[in-house]
Structure 1
Amino acid sequence: MGRPFTVDDLEFMPDDGNTYELIDGVLFVSPPPGRRHQRALLRLGELLDDTCPDEFAVLWPPYVVRPAPDTELRPDVQVAWDSDIDGEVVLDAPELVVEVADASSAINDLNNKKAAYERMGVPHYWVLDPARPSLLVYELVAECYELAAEVVAEEPYETEDPFPVRIVLTDLLGRHPS
């Protein structure tokens, strides 16, 4: 191609079930999510949606975050201000992004995506691993992510930001997530 990718180039990607994302003009391709991944993102999305205040929206694909012409990410779950949503696009940094990690996505979720969300100014970034089960909670402090919590299995995680929610992974995912 000879030039960085733009969001316009994503229109020409095959409809093959893979996820195509751009970070600073670099294309990232992920395989289709498996059953465990889908189950985790739907259950967490529903839990967040049940407690979400009216000024926010809990979104999952096909909603994308598009802060620039060369960057488009497709978070597994995101919480965005209603005023920042245009169609299926979130135009400004969401308040919370959750990526559901699995063997094929963990390196990208914990490195490239985490760095991109940090640069965007996403205040809260979570990485949920349904196989362990575990939850890594990152908070933006002075423009850098700090690990605020690492939660496993039946340990409860409670937060007030961006709104009050309580998560117990074994309750959310089951004791033996499939």
Structure 2
Amino acid sequence: MTIRHTEAPERRLTVDDLEHTPDDGRRYELVDGRFDVSPAPMPMHSSVDSRLTVHLGMEAPDEFTVLTGPGVNLNANRTHHRIPDLAVFDCDPPDRGYFQVPPVLAVEIVSPESVLRDNHTKRAEYAAFGIPSYWIINPLPDKVGIVEFRLKDGLYQEVTQAYGEEVFETELPFPVRFVPHWLTARGSWREHIGGRSEEGTADTE
């Protein structure tokens, strides 16, 4: 379960306080100066994260940087700090500290304890911060699904859904396609995740 501190601290915490959090595998974020703590990800979650990072990294043009779990400060006073499961930036990483600018894509992978946070809380926060594209991936045991949102007039609008062996394809933040099934399936996922066989035809095996 996500841990939310219910008692008001003596002061609002900032990202400087993250330096004192324990190295216990959990994820420490900040919401309005309070810790929002999540447990270490399950193996299914980690599989999606690592495979998608590899695939996007291979497909991304040189001006983009694909990162797993980058820290992003969502406000100037550094009391609101999020760590997307995966993010794509069109700028160089900061020399010190965390990103202060919106990524061009944020990706969250749903865990049992993060359903509300990923689908509602972070969706609103990322839209307010101006992240142009947001993907939510749900690694269900029987069928992995992805929903793509794009920012329009300050709110996210759903653009695309893909499930299982369907091919997900988008042009933002750069042209990319993949089959959600191969984010977790056993087998030669690198060969099949792009959704095309060597002959260039759709791969549905």
TM-score under structure 2 normalisation?
0.79
How far 1:172 moved relative to its partner?
3.0
Residue in structure 2 matched with residue 141 of structure 1 by the alignment:
152
Runs of 5+ unmatched residues, structure 2: 1-8, 188-205
Aligned equivalent of 1:66: 73
Q: Secondary structure at the match of 1:39?
A: helix
Higher relative contact order (CA 8 A, sep 6+): 1
2:73·2:82 contact (CA, 8 Å) conserved in 1? yes
Shift of 1:84: 5.3
> RMSD value over aligned CA atoms?
1.8
Q: Identify the structure with the greater strand proportion.
A: 1
Aligned counterpart in structure 1 of residue 62 of structure 2, from 54, 57, 79: 54
Query: Partner letter of residue 112 of structure 1?
Result: T
After superposing the two structures, state which structure 1 stretch, 142-151 or 38-47, moved more.
142-151
> For the Cα contact (< 8 Å) 1:80–1:90, is it kept in 2?
no
Give me the whole-angstrom Cα distance separating, in 1, the residues matched to 2:119 and 2:49.
17
Shift of the alpha carbon at 1:88?
6.3
CA distance in 1, matches of 2:26, 2:183: 26
Match of 1:159 among 155, 159, 170: 170
Partner of 2:85: 76
In structure 2, how many angstroms separate the alpha carbons of the residues matched to 1:175 and 1:149? 25
2:185, 2:63 → 1: CA distance? Answer: 30
Tell me the SS of whatever aligns to 1:83. coil
**Rounded Cα–Cα distance in structure 2 between residues aligned with 1:88 and 1:36:** 30
Partner of 1:13: 21
CA distance in 1, matches of 2:89, 2:136: 17
Contact persistence 1:23–1:116 (CA under 8 A): no
TM-score (norm 1): 0.91
Structure 1: give runs of 5+ residues left out of the alignment.
none
Q: Residue 75 of structure 1: CA displacement?
A: 1.0
Which protein shows a greater Rg?
Answer: 2
Is 1:174–2:185 an aligned residue pair?
yes
Distance in 1, matches of 2:171 and 2:180, equals 17
CA contact (8 A) 2:85 2:107 kept: yes
* Cα distance in 2 between the residues matched to 1:170 and 1:4: 42
Q: After alignment, is 143-152 or 87-96 more displaced?
A: 87-96
- 12, 19, 22: which one pairs with 2:30? 22
